[in-house]
């Protein structure tokens, strides 16, 4: 049984989000997974207090804090972020067991630094080291 780490699409039309799952390779995209490893929202959305990693709200307004009118401050540009939450320990566990990530998942894992050096999956481009590239150029000039 080949296990893959891939994205399972959820959400509505024109508003997708994905679950990162470990699933049997022969199963359909949205089939029941072996394990859900995380969530990925590819649509940049405004950052709210509920989406912050560790919100510290401080004292309630009027109790030792500065009183304001209650009208929200207008920002020139709201901060837009894609949301990515996953369990790094479980992802590393599945990779050690031999699970193969799909191309989009491999790119996400590579950007996060979860793929060790020397391991190559489809979908990841890493240029060859400079000394290796120099040697191949040198050999091609001999012909």
Tens-digit pLDDT profile for residues 59-97: 554 445 554 555 666 556 778 888 888 899 999 999 999
Q: Strand pairing partners for 22?
A: 5, 35
Residue 93's pLDDT is: 93
Residue 136's pLDDT is: 59
Show the beta-strand stretches assigned E in the chain. Answer: 3-12, 15-24, 35-46, 80-86, 100-101
3-12 vs 100-101, strand pairing mode: parallel
Q: pLDDT higher for 138 or 45? A: 45
Over residues 38-47, mean pLDDT: 88
Domains and CATH numbers, the chain: 3-47+77-137 (3.30.1320.10)
């Amino acid at each position: 049984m080949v296990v893959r780490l891939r994205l399972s699409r959820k959400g509505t039309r024109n508003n997708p989000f994905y679950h990162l799952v470990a699933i049997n390779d022969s199963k359909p995209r949205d089939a029941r997974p072996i394990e859900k490893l995380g969530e990925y929202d590819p649509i940049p959305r405004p950052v709210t207090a509920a989406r912050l990693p560790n919100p510290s709200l401080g004292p309630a307004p009027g109790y030792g804090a500065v009183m304001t009118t209650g009208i929200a401050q207008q920002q020139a540009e709201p901060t837009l972020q894609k949301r990515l939450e996953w369990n790094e320990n479980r992802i590393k566990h599945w990779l050690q067991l031999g699970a193969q990530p799909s191309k989009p998942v491999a790119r996400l894992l590579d950007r996060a630094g979860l793929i060790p050096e020397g391991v190559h999956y489809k979908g990841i481009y890493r240029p060859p080291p400079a000394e290796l590239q120099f040697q191949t150029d040198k050999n091609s000039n001999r012909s």
